Amino acid sequence: MIGLIRAEIVKVAGRKLWWVMTAILVVLLAGLAFVFTVLPNVSPEEFQGVAAITKPDAYLLGASQAIGQTWFPLVFAAVLLAGEASTSVWASSLTRESRRWMHLIAKLVVTTVASAGAMAVGIAAWSAVVAVLAEGQGGPGATEWVGVAWKTLLTQATWVGLGLGLVALFRNMGLAIGAALGFSVFDGILSIWDPWAEVSLSIASNRLFTDLVAAGGPFAPTIGMGFGQALVVIAGWTMAGLVLGIVGLEVRDP
């Protein structure tokens, strides 16, 4: 397994994909930080009395906004595996280690860490805007940032797992990305339906961060799901993605 993880690290490090997608994420989150913390003061008539988010709450709001960018882990995972599955790289890897689940776990681990690293860079960009432009004083302590770190890692693992599972099933990058983003959108829409709200990944992911952004005013989510239930839902969707990936790889490469 260690060898497979090292191989995945080399693959990810050797591609420009992470850098390009992370740059897009940085620009997006820095822009959102400006909108939430500065524009309400500059153009109050456009925001109809909504107050700008101030320090220290503005810092942790950035973490919530970052994990809401589910397109990043979904697309990142789908592109990485699709690039192999459509060439001879995957077949060559299987000749060295035929247990597909080990390949999938290695990809999940490395891609999750890489995606979480991108989220950290994005949160840093958000925080830089807040530090320079937002009103207020102070910032989160070490405990809050540790909470952000493990929650971000956990949510990225789930969305990465789903991305890997879908591309393993479809073996088509465009179709897999479309299905992944479609799931993300429809999961958010279906979350207003009470039965689906109990298992919604979007709700569960946001629930992890509600304690961090409780003071976020109109931008803070109102979620009825309990913290323990959110962890169970996230674990369930992670396993679903892995099972889908293993089944897809077994069916397509018997």
Mean per-residue pLDDT pooled into runs of 10, the chain (254 residues): 72 82 94 83 66 80 83 83 56 52 79 92 92 81 86 88 80 76 81 81 80 48 71 89 77 57
Cα-to-chain-centroid distance, residue 241: 14
Q: In sequence order, what are the beta bridge partners of 136?
A: 55
3-class SS letters over 56-89: CHHHHHHHHHHHCCCHHHHHHHHHHHHHHHCCCH
pLDDT at 218: 42
pTM: 0.82
pLDDT in tens, 34-60: 888 877 777 666 666 677 787 887 888
Beta-carbon count within 10 A of 89 CB: 12
pLDDT at 115: 92
* Cα-only R_g, the chain: 19
pLDDT at 215: 43
